[in-house]
Structure 1
């Protein structure tokens, strides 16, 4: 019996390996639009796809970021300034993409603009702190996608939404984990709706990688500002020692982050160029071996795991 099971599993992975090696034809004629190309995964992906021969349309938040990217790439790559929190900016970028792609349509849309500021225990934050993250990580993803959907459908192309392992397991407060949970839900519904038109939707779920999102300096500043705006009652309940422990944990977390961003961008490239892309890509060993299995465990076990590495407030019971 075990032999039959092993044979079935081996055959399954052999067939999947063969299917995933098949590459889409005429890549040099296909346009891919990527948001947030100033730095991080998206910047590397833009350069990686440019080398591969695709026609990259890179959206940057700043002109400085766009200029630096153009210097590192071929003449095929084009840039546009985009603020995903502004409807007018999205509309202008959409019109620009339409002019670039013409009748070919848009083969790939990669939603990767992201921020983690401000992140802190929920009770330290206000509504605007949550909205600042949601407007970029979730609402920006939704509006950009809806604006460009007709072009992707015309090309029977791909939509890639970058989520996170924090979209499966919420380890800290603030809008970041909430936004990534939202990206997962939006992507799932979108995938089913667009499957009727030959469009494929994939979710990229990176583990912890060394980017601006996981920068301890930025996150520590976020924690301190959230602490400063908290009421005297909240400060008394949590205590200065809790804040200090959190700040130390952020430094340790950054040291453990994977600096090899190509682990993530290779997943993105496969989702854009393979004939049979996966629905979900868990990028990084921590995602595959820790957070993905953790998301399937009973809640009390997940809570116990999170409590192990978390500091306790001064007035905790």
Structure 2
């Protein structure tokens, strides 16, 4: 019995391995637009796809970021400045992309642009702090996608949306986790709609990577700025020790992978494979910790995640 099951599992894995090795032909003539290419995943993916021979259209937030990328890539790579929170900037970018791709359409759209701060316990934040993150990570992603979808549909291409394991598990406050849950929901509905047009929609779910959390100084400044605006009552409830633990992100940084290619390899596969996956979990922490946790009963997941969170000074120790 077990031998039969093992043989079936082996055949399934072999078939999957064979399908995933099949590549899309004529990649040298396919255009891919990537947002958020100033640094991190976007910059690395742009250079990676450029080296593979694809025609990369790299959208950067700033001209200095675009200039750095052009200097590191081949003359084939083209850049544009794009603010995903500006409808005017998105409309101008869509018109520029259409002029580049012509009748063949846009093969790939990678929605990579995103921010993580402001982040803090939810009670510390204002509505504006949530909106700031949601406008970039979710609303901007939706508007960019809707503006370029006709070009992607024309090419029967791919939409690759960067979500996160924080789109499955919410264990810190602020707009980041809600935005990534929204990316998951938008991607799922879009995938069902676009399958009738031959367009594939893929979700990338990275675990903790150093670029995703931003640098240590940025987070410490984020916490300090928010802490100083809190009322005396709120500070007393959480305690100075809570704040010091929260801003000690050096320990958190040690758990983050710096191998960004674990993520960009998933993005590349989603764009170049004949049979891409609907979801890619990038990083061993995503595969072995966060993904399994997301399937456990909520009470079990809460018990595990609660051990990772600091305890406020006036919190109830054994809250039900």
- What is the TM-score normalised by the length of structure 2? 0.97
Partner of 1:289: 288
Partners of 1:109 and 1:256 lie apart in 2 by 30
Partner of 1:123: 123
CA contact (8 A) 1:205 1:283 kept: yes
Task: State the aligned residue count.
Answer: 316
Q: Deviations over 1:164-208 (max 9, x none)?
A: 111111110000011001100000000000000000000000111
| TM-aligned CA deviation for residue 213 of structure 1 | 3.1
What secondary structure sits across from 1:204 in the alignment? strand
Unaligned runs of 5+ in 1: none
| TM-aligned CA deviation for residue 232 of structure 1 | 1.8
1:307 aligns with 2:299: no
**What does residue range 244-263 of structure 1 map to in structure 2 within 5 Å?**
244-248=244-248, 250-263=249-262
Partner of 1:176: 176
CA contact (8 A) 1:117 1:219 kept: yes
**What does residue range 8-19 of structure 1 map to in structure 2 within 5 Å?**
8-19=8-19
Q: Deviations over 1:95-150 (max 9, x none)?
A: 00000000010000000001011000000000000000000000010000000000
CA contact (8 A) 1:162 1:204 kept: yes
CA contact (8 A) 1:242 1:311 kept: yes
What secondary structure sits across from 2:265 in the alignment? helix
Partners of 2:87 and 2:271 lie apart in 1 by 26
Partners of 1:297 and 1:264 lie apart in 2 by 25
| TM-aligned CA deviation for residue 262 of structure 1 | 0.6
1:133 aligns with 2:138: no
Partner of 2:146: 146
Partner of 1:99: 99
CA contact (8 A) 1:208 1:214 kept: no
Partner of 2:204: 204
> Relative to 1, partners in 2 of residues 1:198 and 1:212: Cα closer, same or farther, differing over 3 Å?
closer
Unaligned runs of 5+ in 2: none
What secondary structure sits across from 1:211 in the alignment? helix
Partner of 1:166: 166
CA contact (8 A) 1:129 1:174 kept: yes
CA contact (8 A) 1:119 1:174 kept: yes
| TM-aligned CA deviation for residue 214 of structure 1 | 3.5
**What does residue range 68-79 of structure 1 map to in structure 2 within 5 Å?**
68-79=68-79
| TM-aligned CA deviation for residue 212 of structure 1 | 5.6
CA contact (8 A) 1:115 1:137 kept: yes
Partners of 2:98 and 2:196 lie apart in 1 by 23
| TM-aligned CA deviation for residue 223 of structure 1 | 1.3
Partner of 1:268: 267
CA contact (8 A) 1:114 1:213 kept: no
1:30 aligns with 2:30: yes
Partner of 1:108: 108
Aligned residues: CA RMSD: 0.8
What secondary structure sits across from 2:210 in the alignment? coil
- What is the TM-score normalised by the length of structure 1? 0.98
1:4 aligns with 2:9: no
| TM-aligned CA deviation for residue 216 of structure 1 | 2.2
Partner of 1:42: 42
**What does residue range 204-243 of structure 1 map to in structure 2 within 5 Å?**
204-211=204-211, 213-243=213-243
